[in-house]
Structure 1
């Protein structure tokens, strides 16, 4: 039976669109999160429990060992150590800061938007951002692939972390891949930061239904 190329192209586009929209959706419970509208500050923490990488879901420990070995073979032990150090710095500082900056900047435009703060231990409520999956993307001159990140968001009372108020997921937030954003240094870590920016923007859009 001959294939109708137009029909095939339409079905492929439809499948891609549905997949994209599914990845973009964030479940939000307005009633469960109603407390956000009455709080000035919300504590935020970042974790990477059971983090996986790439399409084959490589565990973080294995991924880091393979990356370290690759850099040792290609560029030497010093460069491998630098890569690991930059990875740790990105996890603990750069990615959380990029996420927070975008989230607070957008939520500040809402009528009852709280401020999310990593250092506010006195906040009544906390949101934990646990990154579960990452893909650094690639930049080979004219051919580029965007970074992606998935994360679980858990809201709970700061004094009783076991008392979970609400939990939701951001799936495959896709960062912009613009060479001007990372002209030097460890470009793939900076690309990953763009995925955190997109995740924060998506979250801020979802929270608009709660605090505006």
Structure 2
């Protein structure tokens, strides 16, 4: 029983250490309340990975070669999953949590491909840490993003800029998939931003 309590306390401490920090860098929220649709774009161009700040290309090369050395085809299969996760896990997770309250309570929709929307939310991934799961012990993923609301027709006009650092990502019960853990980090970011907009704009 004592060991179980110690383990639970350790997990609680980890969750505190890796809690998300969100900060308004510039701009305000007044423009949002009159909008029914906001376009969303996801950018990964300058993303860094791990404490070593690897580029995506460096990480993919290192990880895929390691997996390929452990079994023919494993590296290629992982690379395909890693690249597709942006469209099938990260973006949908973020948008699902963004829309959960804002769409149902305020009638506002955040979606990709809304080129006619007056404003665009650019979700730029700055840094990620995939985390790990060793069964008994685990560490959540972390996702840091720069969230910029810009005029769709004039991207240089940034009306609101927010930094979201170290959004923790993990599934209840844990998961051995790096991509799934990171997806939960994007979900956490969407949820936190949604709550901030609900509080500041309405």
TM-score normalised to structure 1 length: 0.81
Tell me, in whole angstroms, the C-alpha distance in 1 between the residues paired with 2:25 and 2:198.
10
RMSD of aligned residue pairs (Cα, Å) = 2.3
Equivalent position to 2:162, from 164, 168, 180: 168
Question: Which residue does the alignment assign to 1:91?
Answer: 86
Number of matched pairs: 189
Deviations 1:103-155 (A, max 9, x none): 10022354x45210102111011000011111111111111110110000111
Structure 2: 5+ residue stretches without partners: 1-14
How far apart, in 2, do the equivalents of 1:40 and 1:177 lie? 31
Map 1:13-162; keep pairs closer than 5 Å.
Answer: 23-27=20-24, 32-76=28-72, 78-110=73-105, 112=106, 114-162=108-156
Deviation of the 1:206 alpha carbon: 1.0
**Cα drift, residue 32 of structure 1:** 2.6
Q: Mark the structure with the bigger radius of gyration.
A: 1
Is the contact made by 1:124 and 1:159 (CA closer than 8 Å) also made in structure 2? yes
Partner deviation per Cα, 1:69-127 (whole Å, 9 max, x = no partner): 11110122x221111111111012311001000110022354x4521010211101100
- In 2, Cα distance between the equivalents of 1:92 and 1:108? 21
Conserved in 2, the CA contact under 8 Å of 1:147 and 1:177?
no
Give structure 1 stretches of 5+ with no counterpart.
1-15
Q: Provide the rounded CA distance (Å) in 1 between the counterparts of 2:171 and 2:89.
A: 17
Give, in angstroms, the shift of residue 20 of structure 1. 5.5
SS in 2 for 1:151: strand
Tell whether the 8 Å contact from 1:126 to 1:155 is kept in structure 2 after alignment: yes
1:209 equivalenced with 2:199 (yes/no): yes
SS at match of 1:178: coil
SS in structure 2 at match of 1:36: coil
Structure 1 counterpart SS, 2:33: helix
Residue in 1 that maps onto 2:7: none
